Amino acid sequence: MTRTKIAGIGMYVPENIVTNDDLAAIIDTSDEWIKERTGINERRYVTRYKESSATMGTKAAAQAIENAGLTPQDIDFVIFATLSPDYYFPGCGVLLQRALQMREIGALDVRNQCSGFVYGLSIADQFIKTGMYKNILLVGAEAHSLGLNFSDEGRNVSVIFGDGAGAVVLRPATNPGQGILSTHLHSNGADAEMLAMINPGFHSGLYNNNRRPPVPGKPYGGMFVTPDQVANHDFYPTMDGQAVFKKAIEKFPEVVNEALTANGYTVNDLDLLIPHQANLRISQFVQKKLQLRGNQVFNNIQQYGNTTAASIPIALYEAYQAGRITEGNLICFAAFGSGYTWASGLIRW
């Protein structure tokens, strides 16, 4: 059966760098507090009214397509993973198709939050293995900053997330030893509210950024809001950090081992683990639990924060550019996040 390889990689992050000290100037936090809990030094934020998930994804996609030696007209199918779309509907996939002036190809939007890129990778792999498509563009992009709660009540979430985009072009592998070996997808909604935006009554995108604080009893985002919804900050992402951390350090190693075992490998065979950049402390715990060496794990959350669906392709791009990935390497992607969903993919580069 045909295997799927990554033929091109691209990334884009906004120019606007936001340090921990910048956040400490507007909310009750500090550089030391953020570093201790997350390992993050800085993150990037979009320029409001000028950048969005779709615009960033388009720039990362253009780079990935060029890197693959293709043009936008060569792409057969688009998969766009994001939790922060420009519109509630339609999805970002069609906005990217329009921006790159592609043919009238299919565009699929994936809403699996932190696991979105690996879910998209699995979907693309099936299409290519069956021969339905030849060149698939997979994008992960997030404009978190447009929808975060920059108050003292929201600091536990807001200090973690950043904006950015990553993209890959997937196509059939010509080398039989190369490509995606397997993908593994999971979910359990029992604790869905532990990391969620309960009421998406705001609009985070580029084309309608005239957001205002919700007022009880007034129409907001096509609905009426209650005083409790305002008081509980239901219009912003919320997280039970301890619950998420506890589940993440259980599922991350589990899904990595699942991928390795399915293909007859052990952690000693792994050249590089690229985890979704959730929290540096989570990555360090997973590294220790799997008994991986430092050079077997790639982290860049220190510079970009958690960019959810964009974090793996951004990290992949930087790892490749840094010479951490060479032909024949065994690479594992792993993600865990809201839903809960978790996933892994094993690739022979």
pLDDT tens readout for residues 93-110: 999 999 999 999 999 999
pLDDT tens per residue across span 14-38: 999 999 999 999 999 999 999 999 9
Architecture of domain 4-172: 3-Layer(aba) Sandwich (3.40)
Spatial CA neighbour of 318 closest among 332, 304, 334: 304
pLDDT score at 237? 72
Phi, psi of 304 (to 5 degrees): -125, -10
Q: How far apart are CA 180 and CA 187, in angstroms?
A: 21
pTM (global) more than 0.85: yes
pLDDT score at 136? 98
Catalytic: which of 199, 276, 300, 332?
276
- From start to end of 143-240, where are the E strands? 164-172, 179-187, 195-196, 219-220, 223-224, 238-239
Q: Which residues of the chain are under the pLDDT cut of 70? A: 199-235, 241
Domain boundaries, the chain: 4-172, 179-193+239-348
Task: Report domain 179-193+239-348's class.
Answer: alpha beta
Catalytic: which of 41, 67, 306, 332?
306
Whether 263 sits among the annotated catalytic residues: the reply is no
pLDDT score at 199? 66
Catalytic: which of 92, 114, 199, 300?
114
pLDDT score at 133? 97
Whether 332 sits among the annotated catalytic residues: the reply is no
Helix spans in 100-226 (H): 116-129, 155-158
Whether 276 sits among the annotated catalytic residues: the reply is yes
Do domains 4-172 and 179-193+239-348 share one topology? The answer is yes
Q: How far apart are CA 237 and CA 213, in angstroms?
A: 15
